[in-house]
Structure 1
């Protein structure tokens, strides 16, 4: 059985039936909705970061360095992770459409990166800007569970296509603030 826990904003923790621990957008420190502290996370096997916003990168780099987890992201966050000292052998870059297999904790998962529509850029120092397409992720566990985390995105027609092609059984919809002027349905 797969266990999942919402950690606030876009952050989720997944534990597969075989014990692999996956963190998505682990914004823990400073997140008023997160029920745990970053130090409470003793084990992570895979960390997925959807894009370079501070509330998605969050504690991902420190957690990767501390736990030895595979760190998967777009190329902007990949560059930041290398710059901040995550060992190269832990970093796995990806882009929309790519599927990567990750083997850890005695099992494997496949992660398909999907398109997301949102801004994704950072400036790690004055005059330096990094940008890459924001991502969503479809996670395929060994026991057949399919989990879709769309990252920060707006509504767009490919959401239907992703559902038709990937057949997710679990949808992790990140919810942050609500714009009071936004249309309601």
Structure 2
């Protein structure tokens, strides 16, 4: 049944009509007294009595527990002595040395990161200022290509690609995207 959308039941009008003396014309219903469920009361009392009796019998006497402790102490004394273990590998490892061959990392050519290439120098300087606000230093270099003069905004040189990636992530956090890492020489 959908209780949220149900309509409230209409209230019933009281059917009592009063006479001249203020008495009801309908017969009054006799009062109903509730009967006490004696069977349930007896069962509850019996359960409580059984619970109390159980607690008293579980508690037990103090003499029996002392006797049990003495028996446990004798049983512990009857056990053989636990042998001491001597580990040999600890002594063997103290005299050993571990040798590890670590190959040297080969460094490739220096890395440069280009963040933009513009026809106007003012656009390149604007990007350079945004990079400076991110906390990095960049350069604007003019290069002559087939299509004329271009102004590139570059960062670097970096010895490793990891260092260049670190700066690129810093620029991405400053919302400067599109930077690419290349193996370039400054020549």
RCO comparison, higher one (Cα < 8 Å, 6+): 2
Query: TM-score, normalized by length of structure 1?
Result: 0.19
Query: TM-score, normalized by length of structure 2?
Result: 0.19
Q: Which has the larger radius of gyration?
A: 2
